[in-house]
Amino acid sequence: MARELWKGNEALAEAAIRAGVDAFFGYPITPQTELLEYMARRMPELGRTFLQAESEIGAINMVYGAACAGARAMTSSSSPGISLMQEGLSYIAGSEVPCVLVDIMRGGPGLGNIQPGQADYFQLTRSAGHGDFHPLVLAPATVQEAVDLMTISFDLAFQYRTIVIIAGDGALGQMMEPVTLPPMRPPRQERPAWALTGVDGRQPNIITSLYLDADELEQVNLRLQAKLARIAAAEQRWECYLTDDADFLVVAFGTVARIARTAVRTARAAGIRAGLFRPISLWPFPAPALDQLAARVKGVVVAEMNAGQMVEDVRLIVRGRAPVRFLGRTGGVIPLPDEIASELTHMARIDAHANGDRG
Amino acid sequence: MTTMVMEREAPTLTATPWELVYQRPAALTDLPTHYCPGCSHGAIHRMVAEVIDELGIRERTIGVAPVGCAVFAYKYFNLDSCEAAHGRAPAMATGLKRVRPDRIVFTYQGDGDLASIGGNEILHAALRGEQITVIFVNNAVYGMTGGQMAPTTIAGMKTTSSPMGRDVLTQGYPIHIPELLAPMPGVAYAVRRSMHAVAEMRKVKKAIRMAFQAQLQGVGFSIVEILGACPTNWHVSPTDALDYIRDRMLPEYPVGDFKVDARLRD
């Protein structure tokens, strides 16, 4: 299949179209706007639904409505817009309808800026809305991976009746890379049995997140948690790079993981056996895989474009078996390979010192 | 008033059964509602259901319930329905209708839901001329949370959050939704009706029918504001509540047609 040069945001849009998205609702926000613009052109061409909403609140509730009708519905936004969507995400999670969301993260808090960021790790994995739930969060590091994850996202969303979030950052959304796009999937005619289609010949379908009775709501929550446990067990994704013999590990996701690969090579050139562990699913976090590595490495460097968020998950998994250092850049500053490499060097030097090697 | 007693023979078991002329509409479930005595919601639910039956659209109608006293509307309508976040019903209905344009989609919303927290959603659904029908019940208070001031609370009206009476200089003025939406080109039908008397209630049902008719004809967005009674939070008897609508609410919220698209036919 042909490899073509695609911009991240537009590649995500085309991949969603080829994955069979029926309806897109969105609101402009940098640095994801090209995704919306692409959909505005392409969806009507294909006879599918595109609508620019009055706000991110409007957009997510339109997604909620379309998802209730059994459609493959999605939206995309960036950090401040995701904050506005959290209410809707909570309702969508509570009523168990499937949808896909793209977050091209930028610098925060507040209006922040439009540079790349990863400071919404907590928001996406821990607090995508009120109440007990986690979306399935997938963090691509390349435009090709963004396309590949988008291609499976609707199937995951419908399989589990859950929210799937593709979490990129401004760099991924804006960069152009060669990609191979999947074939166009034929549009789907059938609707799931739970969808709102009109009561023709059956009892009414009701989609709600309201359960006033405490025992009943607890049962709903237990069912939701059981589903999340199934997702946690089955949907962990990660990549290991040069970890087989690694003494020192970098843990990084998304754009930072690409920079970390260079840092790992730099460290290896200097004689430090370094490797990269890259979580692809941020929730569920690939804990068992990291746990195995943590049992035998001498040190871990966590690099993120935030003030330290994923590092909390890493520390919980490493459990003090190795020192964990954190390198964070914020505000849209992208860490350089040398910064990460020097963390590895520093860690190796301390380790050597502790083991009596003063050379 | 004199009562006429009709002389007629008692029907025998073999005779044709009497025709049942008043029964539960198919579009309503047989669940007793949770509404207070004298509340207008139950009667309005029934009228919506009757209209859905009469238009023969029950099998392809989808309802969107609000947050507020009518939050359980989805239990009372015998339809496919969903429950929206507070104020977001018009956005949710937009999503439903856009992916299923062959279905009839309506929202049922109160005044706190539609006119306050959902102001943006209703405004833009109307601006876009969404082919949805909005049943908007205005009882001038937040009923479910216990009678707080709503954007529709009339000047001087005492509520739990305007205990000295709504002071418009500091707490703002009442909002007039159909008047606000009527000038928008996408709006086909925007009217206000009242539940304070039987003759008025007949006009309510006719307006609900026209609002659904607008959607069936595809001529644009339709909304019926209905002045409803809330004896509980107005702290009056059910009958006094009807007088309260007539004497206090109607001067602020006159019934009338603010927009009726020329293409609309009954």
Q: Please, which pLDDT band fits residue A221 given cuts at 50, 70 and 90?
A: very high
Q: Which residues of B111-120 are buried (b: 16+ CB within 10 A; e: fewer)?
A: bbbbbbbbeb
A87·B121 Cβ contact <8 A: no
B85·A61 Cβ contact <8 A: yes
Q: Is residue B28 part of a domain?
A: no
Q: For residue A91, count other CB atoms closer than 10 A to its CB.
A: 27
Q: Is residue B77 part of a domain?
A: yes
Secondary structure letter of residue B71 according to DSSP: G
Cα distance between residue A282 and residue A261, in whole Å: 19
B189: phi then psi, degrees, rounded to nearest 5: -150, 120
Q: What are the beta bridge partners of residue A238?
A: A279
Provide, rounded to the nearest whole percent, the portion of chain A with pLDDT above 70: 99
pLDDT score of A211: 97
A198·B88 Cβ contact <8 A: no
Q: Is residue B48 part of a domain?
A: yes
B120·A65 Cβ contact <8 A: no
- The closest alpha carbon to B108, from B140, B62, B53, belongs to B62
Q: Please, which pLDDT band fits residue A355 given cuts at 50, 70 and 90?
A: confident
Q: In a 10 Å sphere around its CB, with 0-12 CB exposed, 13-18 middle and 19+ buried, how is residue A31 labelled?
A: buried
Domain boundaries, position B81 = 41-260
Considering only CB atoms, B96 lies closest to which of A51, A65, A208, namely A65
Q: What is the CATH number of the domain that holds B212?
A: 3.40.50.970
Mean pLDDT computed over every residue of chain A: 97
**Preceding amide of A284 cis, omega within 30:** yes
pLDDT score of A188: 84
Provide, rounded to the nearest whole percent, the portion of chain A with pLDDT above 90: 96
B100 contacts in A (CB within 8 Å)? 69, 197
| Cα→Cα distances B174→A328, B67, B153, B167, B180, Å | 51, 20, 6, 11, 12
Is-contact A88 A133, C-beta < 8 A?
no
B121·A197 Cβ contact <8 A: no
pLDDT score of B135: 98
Q: Tell me the CA end-to-end span of chain B in Å, nearest whole number.
A: 35
Cα distance between residue A320 and residue A306, in whole Å: 22
Instruction: Residue window 39-98, chain B: list those with CB within 8 Å of chain A.
Output: 58-62, 64-65, 71-72, 74-75, 77-85, 88, 91-98
Q: Quick one: residue A243, left, alpha or beta (phi over 0 = left, psi -120 to 50 = alpha)?
A: alpha
Cα distance between residue A69 and residue A25, in whole Å: 14
Q: For residue B8, count other CB atoms closer than 10 A to its CB.
A: 6
Average the pLDDT over A253-258 and give the result.
98
* Structure token pair of residue B174: 């009442």
Q: For residue A160, count other CB atoms closer than 10 A to its CB.
A: 18
Is-contact A211 A217, C-beta < 8 A?
yes
Considering only CB atoms, A61 lies closest to which of B78, B79, B91, namely B91
Express each pLDDT in A52-111 by its tens digit: 999 999 999 999 999 999 999 999 999 999 999 999 999 999 999 999 999 999 999 999
Average the pLDDT over A254-263 and give the result.
98
Secondary structure (3-state) at B223: strand
Q: Is residue B64 part of a domain?
A: yes
Q: Is residue B14 part of a domain?
A: no
Instruction: Give the amino acid at A274.
Output: A
- pLDDT 10s digit of each residue in chain B, 266 long? 445 555 565 555 565 677 778 899 999 999 999 999 999 999 999 999 999 999 999 999 999 999 999 999 999 999 999 999 999 999 999 999 999 999 999 999 999 999 999 999 999 999 999 999 999 999 999 999 999 999 999 999 999 999 999 999 999 999 999 999 999 999 999 999 999 999 999 999 999 999 999 999 999 999 999 999 999 999 999 999 999 999 999 999 999 999 999 999 87
Considering only CB atoms, A66 lies closest to which of B72, B81, B95, namely B95
Task: Establish how many alpha carbons lie within 13 A of residue B93's alpha carbon, considering only the half-sphere containing its beta carbon.
Answer: 33
Average the pLDDT over A216-238 and give the result.
98
Q: Is residue B8 part of a domain?
A: no
Secondary structure letter of residue A31 according to DSSP: T
Q: Is residue B1 part of a domain?
A: no
Q: Is residue B5 part of a domain?
A: no
* Domains of chain A, CATH where assigned: 4-234 (3.40.50.970), 239-354 (3.40.50.920)
pLDDT score of A359: 46
Average the pLDDT over A318-330 and give the result.
97
Among chain B residues, the shortest Cα distance to A21 is held by B99
Average the pLDDT over A326-337 and give the result.
97
pLDDT score of B2: 47
B83·A62 Cβ contact <8 A: no
- The closest alpha carbon to B121, from B89, B97, B143, belongs to B89
Q: Which residues contact A240 (CB under 8 A, 6 or more apart)?
A: A275, A276, A277, A278, A289, A293
A199·B59 Cβ contact <8 A: yes
The distance of A61 to chain B (nearest Cα, Å) reads: 5
Considering only CB atoms, A204 lies closest to which of B78, B94, B100, namely B78
Is-contact A147 A182, C-beta < 8 A?
yes
Cα distance between residue A169 and residue B11, in whole Å: 79
Query: What's the domain count of chain B?
Result: 1
A204·B121 Cβ contact <8 A: no
Q: Please, which pLDDT band fits residue A15 given cuts at 50, 70 and 90?
A: very high
Q: B interface mutation test: which of A49, A54, A190 has the most B CBs within 10 A? A: A54
pLDDT score of B5: 52
Cα distance between residue B74 and residue A209, in whole Å: 12
